[in-house]
Structure 1
Amino acid sequence: MSEATSFTITLTQQQDYRFLIDFGDGLPNLLSDESPPVGHGEGPAPSHLLAAAVANCLSASLLFALRKYKNHPEPLKSTATVQMNRNAQGRLRIGHIAVSLEIGQPEDALLHRERILSQFEDFCVVTQSVNQGIPVSVTVRDAEGQLLHETRREAT
């Protein structure tokens, strides 16, 4: 039987397309805004927040898996690149997210790397959920730029 959990966030319009996002539980609020010409770009747009959530979740999942096996991967760096496309009706959509993760250590310093790299994506709640509608490709490189892992999903 699965465990169901939930949380609630509240968005309050400040002006035009600028919203104050209240995450509750004593967490700091965040200001979001659409990019010009619709908004004023005074905060991240919803598509930026989605890309950040995917990259953050993958980063945390990889960090957890590496540390579980006593690795010290710091500093970890992640980059998310979003491809925007128009659908058949001409409406703008996120067509693909590519996340590049960089581990701060060389490959030979990582213990159990094959096992870690084959599993860490499966534990990323956000990415696995987003992948059901938007393909997310993932690469992992070590401190020397060596490609350690790649999951390619085609853009829509």
Structure 2
Amino acid sequence: MSAKTFSVHMKLLENYLFEVDFGEFGNIMTDEPPPLGDGEGPNPSAMLAASVANCMSASLLFALRKYKNDPGELSASVTGTVDRVEKYLRVTQLNVEITLGRGQSELPDIGKAMEQFESFCVVTQSVRHGVPVSVVVKDSAGDTIVV
């Protein structure tokens, strides 16, 4: 497979407020929180966290569907930690929790999907080279799915 490229364009509007242009998918605003910016949009750390959680969720969905399993409603939350490393602020941890809309017993191939889904996630596997990422998957009853 040959390498694929993608582009996102940004423009500074004022202070630390940027317009991010995703082309055919529209624009969003990003901003740094006070005291640098005015917090008028998600900051880059939140965008990174959202990218990881979204990619992990899509990868789990792909793995489940590969085995003809329907997870029902799927939701995710992600918590990140920013701390000083040497003298600079860095994202030092991302914790993703994915919740499925069905119980484990309704997903006969959940074990197979769980064993491989993280490998499908382009973003997380790239980010993990510098930031630890933990992932927990829960079923509709709130039980953690363990392989």
TM-score interval (norm. to shorter): over 0.9
Runs of 4+ aligned structure 1 residues displaced above 2 Å come to: none
Residue 129 of structure 2: which of 128, 132, 138 is its match?
132
Which 5+ residue runs of structure 2 have no aligned equivalent?
A: none
- CA drift of 1:33 comes to 0.5
Q: How does 1:82-97 map to 2 (within 5 A)?
A: 82-89=80-87, 91-97=88-94
Distance 1:78 1:13 in 2: 30
Are 1:148 and 2:145 an aligned pair?
yes
Alignment size in residue pairs: 147
- CA drift of 1:28 comes to 1.0
Partner of 2:114: 117
TM-score (norm 1): 0.91
Partner of 2:34: 36
Provide, for residues 121-141 of structure 1, a one-character-per-residue CA deviation record: whole Å limited to 9, x for no partner: 000000000000001000101
- CA drift of 1:149 comes to 3.6
Q: How does 1:3-82 map to 2 (within 5 A)?
A: 3-24=2-23, 26-82=24-80
Which 5+ residue runs of structure 1 have no aligned equivalent?
A: 151-156
TM-score (norm 2): 0.96
